[in-house]
Amino acid sequence: MRSPSDVIILQSRARWLLFLIVGAFSLCAATYWMVQIVRGPYYSQLAENNQFRERNIAAPRGKILDRTGSVVLVDSRPAFNLYAIPELCDDVGECIDKLRQMVGLSEQELQKVEQRRRRLPDFRPLLIKEDIPFELMAFFEARERRYPWILIAVDHRRSYPMKKTAAHLLGHVGEITETQIASDLFPGSRPGSMVGQAGLELRYQRYLSGDDGRVVQVVNNLGRVMREVSRDQPLPGQDLLLTIDQELQSRAEELYSDKQGALVCIDVRSGDILAMVSSPAFDPNSYIELFPMLVSDSDSPLLNRAISSKFSPGSVWKVLIAAAALQEGIMTPERKELCAGAVNLAGRFVHCHASGGHGSLNVVEALTLSCNVFFYKTGHRLGIERIAKWAGRFGFGELSGIDLPYEVSGLVPTPEWKERVRGEMWYPSETVSVSIGQGPLEVTPLQMAVFMAAVANGGKLLTPQLVRGVRDLDGTVKYFPHPEARSVGIDEEHLRVVREGLYGAVNRGGTAVRARIPQISAAGKTGTAQVIRKRFGLKPEDLPEEFRHHAWFVCFAPYEEPEIAVCIFVEHGGSSNLSSVPLGAEFLRAYAERREGLKRNVGVRITE
């Protein structure tokens, strides 16, 4: 048993314990005072940075289908991206190594993974490989418990089952750029959104894109996701129904497999583009991989020649001169001009391609034979102002309004234009050049097709359309109304005369006889566009030999009751007789075969 004094010593020691505790608590209070009062404002600021964050859930993009709704040109497929979450790994290096063995990563991919890993905090999913095969995805999904550190995220990718078909029209999607975000042209998009960057993908972005879903998360000041607050599921985009007929389009593309150029086939009644080819083309499936090559290719495969390239119209222009002259009353169907092989006009001696001359001919014969002298004289009488006026009425020098971006307007020269751009006055001799489609004229293949359609349909200038409508998820199709056609202002009786001339060119021993086929009656006009534009004294003879001319053939069919107008353009085709016209014949044959099918399809509501 202890002595009482011993116990008193113990009690006093225990009291010291109380002092110790009170001292420690005072220290606690002091440190909290430092943190909460002295440094309080600093931490308040940090707390404000701990905030909500919205994350996008990309909506599946709509498909792009041909006019029948049965052929998928652009598909949206899910792509599975493989991630690892480092903080859930015992050893990140081991995890990555395991994935490397399972999915097969190249040295380069492995380096990229390492780079990403250094940038990202451990709780952020680390992208290992994009677009892994479905089997691998299924493999990992089934083993979710075994590999809790593996994350598979789905995104949507574009695929092009028809490969090169209509590649120029479809365009492509890509991540939205900073400028695009700032531009307000992409409502509802945000950094990281995939948006249409070209072609129909761009133009019909708002139908295709759907509405992205959104998940609101709480993140801390380091960006770690703490919890989900709300989630809106995405609304998938609508499918796009093109005016393009896949069968016709494919046939047309085959025709261009070994050629450069463009083809436009338009329905003269509605403005629907049934086929639009630009060659060379590319396979959009490998667009990203091939992009550097495509861009530097001197043949410009990325260029949509049908709407973005402009050329001299050549003799096709004579059709416009004829129509204008008839309407202006400076010419009648009966009036004849003498072609002696050459003529002196406005102080210039100009030749016809027929060296002996065509003799005396009227407008129908002149169109049939493409007589230069006849149109030199007619154009000279019309004058540049009136030529420009009627060219404008027919849609030249302005955008056709087709539903594709990056269309160019071409050029119809006027004295004002020359004064403004070149600071020189207009010479009447230039009018002579313009009369047969030379000089500074620039037209696109699409403008040529729309022009020919107006000749064929009685003077209605159509707005060409590539999209018929959109199809909802439930299969209901909403057709877009056809834009109102503008009247060109040329009477049908005059147009009938012009059409007769064009009929002769194909069917009565004219310049396009090779386009005469039994299946369908056609009428059309050939033309030649110089590769280096002839200007101001530079004569074709002075051109280097390797620059062969481009060949045009612009036609409509059937002659009696026109359905389509076609513009065929072959770059460096040389003689149209050997290039554009036979090609046109092939296309007309293809159309004749497809005609019944197309008729059946018109106006049919497509529901699935």
Partner 1 sequence: MTERRLIFRIDYLLAALALILGLAGVALINSATHSRPLEGLWLKQLFVLGAGTVVMLIVGMINYRLFVRLAIPIYVIVLGMLFFLAIFGRAAGGARSWFAFGGLNLQPSEFVKIALILILAKAFAAIERSYLTLADMWRPLAIAGVPIALTAVQPDLGTAITMVPLLMGIAVVAGLRFRAVVALLLIGLILFTFAWMFVLKDYQKERLRSFLDPDDDPTHSGYQIQQSLIAIGSGGLTGKGLFLGSQSQLNFVPAQHTDFIFSVLGEELGFVSVVGILMLFAAFFARALLPLRDVHDVAGIYIVVGAVSFLAFQAVINILMSIGMFPTTGVPLPFLSYGGSSLLSNMIAVGLIISVYAYRDAK
Binding site for partner 1 (CB under 8 A): 1-2, 4, 6-7, 9-11, 13-15, 17-18, 21-22, 24-25, 27-29, 31-33, 35-37, 39-40, 42-44, 46-47, 50, 121-123, 218, 220-222, 224, 226-227
Closer to partner 1 by CB, 33 or 291: give it.
33
The CA distance from 237 to 208, in Å, is 5
**571-to-233, 254, 270, 436, 439 alpha-carbon distances in Å:** 50, 16, 28, 19, 19
Cα 431 → chain centroid = 36
Closest approach of Cβ 32 to partner 1, in Å?
5
The CA distance from 522 to 595, in Å, is 14
Closer to partner 1 by CB, 25 or 536: give it.
25
Closest approach of Cβ 120 to partner 1, in Å?
9
Closest approach of Cβ 213 to partner 1, in Å?
22
Closest approach of Cβ 88 to partner 1, in Å?
12
Buried b or exposed e, range 396-426, using 16+ CB within 10 angstroms: bbeebbbbbbebebbbbbbbebbeeeeeeeb
362, two tokens: 């009227």
Closest approach of Cβ 167 to partner 1, in Å?
45
564, two tokens: 């389509």
User: Residue 219: beta bridge partners?
Assistant: 225
Closest approach of Cβ 126 to partner 1, in Å?
13
533, two tokens: 């534009």
Of 500, 524, 382, 383, residue with least CA distance to 452: 524
Radius of gyration of the chain from its Cα atoms, rounded to whole angstroms: 35
The CA distance from 256 to 551, in Å, is 13
Q: Are strands 359-361 and 477-479 parallel, antiparallel or unpaired?
A: unpaired
**Furthest CA-CA distance within the chain:** 151
Are the beta carbons of 539 and 566 closer than 8 angstroms? no
The CA distance from 110 to 129, in Å, is 9
Closest approach of Cβ 125 to partner 1, in Å?
14
Closer to partner 1 by CB, 185 or 218: give it.
218
Closest approach of Cβ 41 to partner 1, in Å?
8
Sign of CA dihedral 157, 161, 167, 169: negative
The CA distance from 568 to 503, in Å, is 17
Closer to partner 1 by CB, 57 or 225: give it.
225
- CA atoms lying within 13 Å on the CB side of residue 98: 15
Closer to partner 1 by CB, 51 or 115: give it.
51
- H/E element, 81: strand 72-84
Are the beta carbons of 320 and 451 closer than 8 angstroms? yes
Closest approach of Cβ 607 to partner 1, in Å?
45
Of 346, 413, 412, 355, residue with least CA distance to 377: 346
Residue type, position 559, single letter: Y
Closer to partner 1 by CB, 221 or 257: give it.
221
Closer to partner 1 by CB, 31 or 332: give it.
31
Closer to partner 1 by CB, 42 or 291: give it.
42
Query: 3-class DSSP state for residue 165?
Result: coil
* DSSP state letter for 409: -
Closer to partner 1 by CB, 38 or 425: give it.
38
Closest approach of Cβ 477 to partner 1, in Å?
46
Closer to partner 1 by CB, 121 or 597: give it.
121
Of 341, 549, 345, residue with least CA distance to 429: 345
Closest approach of Cβ 27 to partner 1, in Å?
8
The CA distance from 170 to 163, in Å, is 11
Closer to partner 1 by CB, 163 or 231: give it.
231
Closest approach of Cβ 153 to partner 1, in Å?
21
Closer to partner 1 by CB, 223 or 475: give it.
223
User: Residue 263: beta bridge partners?
Assistant: 277, 568
The CA distance from 83 to 130, in Å, is 9
Closest approach of Cβ 89 to partner 1, in Å?
13
Q: Count H helices, E strands: the chain?
A: 20, 23
Closer to partner 1 by CB, 217 or 601: give it.
217
